[in-house]
Amino acid sequence: MSAAVQSATNGGALSPRHVNKKQKKDQDGGDGIPVPEITNLDYVNLTTHADAFGVDPVPISWGHPDPLVRGPVICTVRHMSQRNAIGAHSGSYCIYTGLAVAAGKLNPDYVPNLKLTSPVVKIGPHRGWSDPKKIGSIDPFGHLTTDCYAGYLNKGFDIRPTIAVTKAHIDLPECREAIASGRLVPDGTILMPTGQSVVTKAAIEPVWYLPEIARRFGCTETSLRQSIFRMTNGMYPELITRPDIKIFLPPIGGLTIYIWGDPDTIPDEDIELTCRVHDECNGSDVFGSDICTCRPYLTHAIEECIKTAQRGGCGVVIYYRKEGRSLGEVTKYLVYNTRKRQEGGDSAENYFRCTEEVAGVQDTRFQALMPDPLHFLGVTKIHNFISMSDMKYNAIVNTGISIVNRVEIPKELVPKDAQVEITAKVFHGYNAGEAYKNIDEEELKKTVGRDYDYGKTTGGGGGEEEKKEESNVIQD
């Protein structure tokens, strides 16, 4: 029986090739940990195959509560025959590792010193860690490499953490303004008089368990593998040639968790938890672009998280690297140009249609994977969800997490040019709350954004003076 057939019959877990048990025990020294095989990097192997001679991946049983039985995720270049994951560490930054090697700045055989890198606070284990339906897109043991897999490291395996947990002070001008206005009051522990707030933060790289990813998207694992292989122009041939390997480290952005207050209180449903799940928007979050509500909603959530922590609860912001609804910043800016140049100007009525015209789809964030870091933290109840997104709300509650209050962005925080966005989203199903309950079709049709007076011959006209007078057009 081939390794691929074995994989299909044991629920997707990796099974090592059949070897003599006594021989295996002699090889691993009796501790159950195999002897690492170091790959010769002097030649290039285009791909590997499940039934090839010498291929013997370290077994992994995704969802097992015991990390040693579950097994470590091995996705480094030093152990090609024992590797049990497709892809590479560091997400999209793995390409820079290749550049560093090509430039002679990095020894490809280098193994990091992880002795002082362990998490600064304890997270988990939680019940959801052993349920693939709760966690299938990150490795819940990814921050415990030096603890759970010390035996592997001591034996010479190169195993990298996919989660790092540290502490920091963050300094936002909005927090200083909130102190000046009296909305926030420094306490010297959570919020400093300088406006800095103290957080625990965790950086997380994606680690996909492919059978679960396929289940969530309602497709077969084979279809998922083939689609990724095709749409990356054949970047990962092992998606096709290694059906026995069920773990994939995709070349996409990860996420960061920011925690105000004591992380140990998060699983306690009787202790208040405020949370926002935020998708990256470089233009607004970093540079303050006013075409969307991203930064003001994010900073409002941070303010609410600080207040919750000061009341003895906990505040959590999960920041995903999903720029432009995961379509990318180039696509987002192309959409901006289409919105501004279309006939009639940047209108709320055509807000979503413009994205579809450029990208072929409204949104590729696909919130089915989004709740995983909540389960990593042990969340079962969110008292204040700082989001109007129906997609995020549904994705979270469908995994068994209850949400008590949904908090919309205050109207006074919505930038002028972002009226198009907020009006379109509320009309098409975002939670309106009390602040936006009066948005109707008439409001949708008359809400128009700023006119930059771009060249209108490309992509249509619009924006003439008579049209400006008839609508809620934004002018500076």
Residues designated as active site: 363, 365
Q: Which of 28, 10, 12 is nearest to 20 (CA)?
A: 28
Q: Which of 14, 9, 31, 5 is nearest to 74 (CA)?
A: 14
Cβ–Cβ under 8 Å, residues 175 and 191: yes
**Alpha carbons 34 and 292: distance in angstroms, whole number:** 53
Residue 120, number of CB atoms within 10 A of its CB = 11
**Alpha carbons 91 and 131: distance in angstroms, whole number:** 24
Please give the helix or strand (H or E) that residue 333 lies within, else none.
helix 329-341
**Alpha carbons 42 and 57: distance in angstroms, whole number:** 21
In 3-state terms, what secondary structure has residue 381?
A: strand
**Alpha carbons 181 and 188: distance in angstroms, whole number:** 18
**Alpha carbons 125 and 328: distance in angstroms, whole number:** 34
CA atoms within 13 A on the CB side of 284: 23
Q: Which of 248, 238, 258, 397 is nearest to 317 (CA)?
A: 258
